[in-house]
Amino acid sequence: MRQSALSEMKDAVTPRATLLVIGVIALQLLFVASYVGALHEPRLKDVTFGVVAPRAVAEQTVSRLEGLLGSPLDPRALPDEETAVDQIANRDIYAALVVNPAGTTDTLLVASGSGRALSLALGTLTVSVEQSQGRDVRTVDVAAVSPHDFNGLSSFYLVIGWCVGAYLCASILAISSGARPANPARAATRLGTMVLVALVGGLGGAVIVGPILGALPGSVWALWGLGALLIFAVGAATLALQGLFGVMGIGLAILLVVIAGNPSAGGAFPAPMLPPFWQAIGPALPPGAGTWAARSISYFHGNGMTPALLVLSAWAVAGVLITMVAAVLRRRRTAETGPFGVEAPGVAGRPG
């Protein structure tokens, strides 16, 4: 009876299932560590910040801001307010302080389109610094978030939806007939299917957040292009990971896109408010690059998005190349060993 119970347990929980469960637990703990680690204590760190004032006043103000505890700002003097507005619009700086030497009220230029949490934090910090000097501040939002885009999060949620759909579709394509593509033709077919998924999903997302809900004011065509590139990049990367690691590739895709990518994307808290590790990896991962580009399209006339598009293109190209190479190598191994791992006739004695 005892032996029968042990046999039943072994049949119910196979070694392969045990490894997969351990992997899921590891992903679960990494999820908690990544999200809580990135978002539990946001603080400003080296935020690019302009100062507009007469030369002597500008130097004093920059020096004072550089000396703030914890280095929340990375200030630099700018020649005039127009330059400050242009640099904010080009996403070179996040905000600027325009000092009025003839009065006691200065102007803080912010861009809530980059993330309302960052704008509010910069406003609070600037008011505190100015009050310590006996001065007042008025805030002007030069790239204001849409009134239908609460806290500027719609672009982030749009990107997350695109990413989730991408790796789910790629996973379905792979596990429907084996996680590793059996041959290059099948791998190419899956990549071609991802192109169609990317085009449909990108257009659908752009239409939903634009004409249907009115959440984002950017060009539907530009958002469609971004969505298609993002979906294909994540899908191709997922197929590549599955081609290399089989079913484990799905877990690795979740690790990169969800566990590492989402909290570092700058959604709830833009990059300058994240800890150094998440601030460093965010721009290199699809969610971070996608969120930056979506905000550029929606609130900054497409400015400053070239690096993000290059990142997504790199993920797409690498995904295609690795997927195809993995398929070619698998076909060669199958030809040499046979479909069941038995050495094919005539292969014995072949070098290598």
User: Mind listing the pLDDT tens digit for each residue in 212-221?
Assistant: 999 999 899 9
pLDDT one-digit tens code per residue, 134-156: 999 999 999 999 999 988 999 99
pLDDT score at 137: 96
pLDDT score at 334: 66
pLDDT score at 180: 55
Cα–Cα distance for residue pair 71/185, rounded to 1 Å: 54
Contact 166, 195 (CB under 8 A): no
pLDDT score at 174: 82
Share of the chain above pLDDT 70, in %: 89
Question: Which residues, 6 or more positions from 27, have their beta carbon under 8 angstroms from its beta carbon?
Answer: 251, 254, 255, 259
Cα–Cα distance for residue pair 129/62, rounded to 1 Å: 12
Cα–Cα distance for residue pair 298/296, rounded to 1 Å: 6
- Cα-based distances in Å from 67 to 12, 43, 62, 71, 72: 63, 16, 9, 7, 9
pLDDT score at 312: 98
pLDDT score at 273: 96
pLDDT score at 14: 76
Give the residues of the chain that fall short of pLDDT 70. Answer: 1-13, 177-182, 334-352
pTM for this model (two decimals):
0.89
Contact 288, 279 (CB under 8 A): no
pLDDT score at 238: 95
Quote the tokens at residue 272: 């300058």
pLDDT score at 344: 46
Domain ranges of the chain: 47-141, 150-337
pLDDT score at 3: 55
Contact 221, 135 (CB under 8 A): no
The SS3 call for residue 247 is coil
pLDDT score at 63: 94
pLDDT score at 5: 58
Quote the tokens at residue 136: 């007042």
